[in-house]
Chains A and B, each alone.
Chain A
Amino acid sequence: MKLIYTRPESLKKAAFHYCPGCGHSVAHRLVCEVIDEMELRGRTIGIPPPGCSVFAYNYFDVDMAESAHGRGAAVATGIKRACPGIIVFTYQGDGDLAGIGTAETIHAANRGENITTIFINNAVYGMTGGQMAPTTLSGMKTTTTPYGRDPATEGRPMRMSEMLAPLEGVAYIERVAISSPANIRKAKKAIARAFRMQIDNRGFSMVEILSPCPTNWKMTPVQSWKWVEEEMTRVFPPGVYKDVTEPENAG
């Protein structure tokens, strides 16, 4: 019998604490598969954030170090500068990366820090109970926008991939969606490409993953995956925003 599906070596034998249908579990698995396939496990350090993925270190079987809220890119900078041979990735939510950690993110990208960021955009602050994130869609209801996000007072959703791509230090940015098997395969390719950029010393790489949060969106897993596909991608179109190795996407 041919083995076609198994637990990646870099993924610990532990049951995820994530809600059913949550995009975090899928994203974790994809990152682990890539680490295995590129044989990076022995020289990788991952930086999980405060957020629903704070326990990511219980799942990733690579060296992991917790970071303060939003500071992942700065911590990764310190690691990479001290030990350039180590492969560093941050794993960050949208509150973490696009809210409290905007400055750290933009400046690490602009310096062309040779690190990889896995950016989980679920349009809310998941861990703290579904408050508005910088990425919350206009009109979307959250616990802190009970009447829907009003662009007049709360601004419009922030598009981090579009914002970061023009920076010269950025080597690679792609937005993908966890919404269907085909899109998940695309997501994995993007993650592999991002790590490849780091291995080749190209500069900052980021994969933005549109990721379902059924719990805070108050949807069933199936509805939430559909919502990513139909609603989120309208505001956050998937695609390659920067790829310095492809002339037409070089920015």
Chain B
Amino acid sequence: MRWSAPRLPSRSTVSKVLMDGNSAIAEAAIRAGLRCYFGYPITPQNELTEYMAMHLGRKKGCTFLQAESEVAAINMVYGASLVGARAMTSSSSPGISLKQEGISYLAACELPAVIVNMQRGGPGLGSIAAAQSDYFQATRGGGHGDYRTIVLGPSSVQELADMTMRAFDLADKYKIPVMILGDGVLGQMKEPVEFKREAPEITPTREGTLQGAGGGASRIVKTFTSNPSELEEINWSLFRRYQLIKKNETTWDTYMTDDARLVVVAYGIAARIARGAIKSLRAKGLKVGLFRPVTLWPFPDEPLRELVKNVRQLLVFEMNMGQMIEDVQLALAGKGEVSFYGRPGGVIPAPDEVGRVMSRLYYQKGLK
């Protein structure tokens, strides 16, 4: 099956265009002022790379390059970011493992970059079906060293586009790598999408980037030091930035939680499925709701703590064997009651299935 480039909204009469998630990210990135994209083929994100080849490669002053590996791609991003270009790469689970080295260096050198992970089933080569198998890896930094990256969890094609734009701004604002944690379904499915911006909100400056010393003093971008207290100071400075991000950028969403007795905690495609289930159960009179972390790091622990003041019973629903649940438990520190439902391996449960789990729990726990 040949993939063909979706038409761009400018040629269309409707303000929305039917686009797959991968292409929507690519289009949004280009509108956000992306200058360099480096990729390596892997399903289910190839449409993103191909869209870039088609639309970024020929743009003046921009670069598309298919690298020889994910390792090379992320290091090319590092190079482009060093000199102040908005740069990004994308991959899926196995490829993201290879990028971890580079992500650690980007984080250490305080360089902005956007990384897309269209997750698939794992471990190992796993499957190409949609999964949420890389939550741990994404939210704990992922590579070696004491660092964080901002992680965004979109749940529709529209959000992929919007969050891509936000990702570039966050990356530049905080000089940090930002990961968009999608999955195979979000990447592959087409939905109507509207591009709300024609140009980047924040234009990256060249300030602080390497441009050659000119007539002035030369600069160094590095992490290695033989002096532990120098590195400690770097770690502290990163940590202070992370605290600031936590304070300013933590984002979440709730749906029908006001009078809820059971609240599902889910992100990304799982949150969307849960929302469908909640709607059906509400129609039957069950008081259920949804809490959706939108930034997965920083995790919205404070709002979740607020929530359990009124709702005792939570159900964490993930397309894995239980990863985000650890953040929920950490946030709640023993408060509330947390149950779990997960489908790993690339299985996509239907809203009805999640609904059945919810109503069972609802009655078992005597919430009616």
Contact = CB atoms under 8 A, between A and B. Distances in A.
B187 to A, nearest CB: 24
A79 B75 contact: no
A80 B210 CA distance: 12
| Chain A contact patch, size range | 35 or more
Interface residues of B, number: 40
Nearest to B221: A65
A61 interface: yes
Contact of B76 (A55, A75, A106): A75
A77 B65 CA distance: 10
A123 interface: no
What DSSP secondary structure best describes chain A's contact surface?
helix
A74 interface: yes
5 contacts: A43-B212, A68-B101, A83-B83, A103-B69, A107-B72
B259 interface: no
Nearest to B219: A63
Nearest to B64: A81
Contacts of B84: 82
A62 B68 CA distance: 29
A60 B123 CA distance: 44
Contacts of A83: 83, 85, 211
Contacts of A107: 67-68, 72
Interface string B61-96: 001010111011101111111111101000000000
A42 B79 contact: no
A104 B218 contact: no
B141 to A, nearest CB: 15
A66 B224 CA distance: 8
A132 to B, nearest CB: 22
- Which 7 pairs show the lowest CB-CB distances between chains A and B? A78-B79, A74-B75, A43-B212, A78-B76, A82-B85, A107-B68, A71-B75
B223 interface: yes
Q: Which of A55, A63, A64, A86 has the most CB of B within 10 A?
A: A63
Contacts of A82: 35-36, 63, 79-80, 83-85, 87
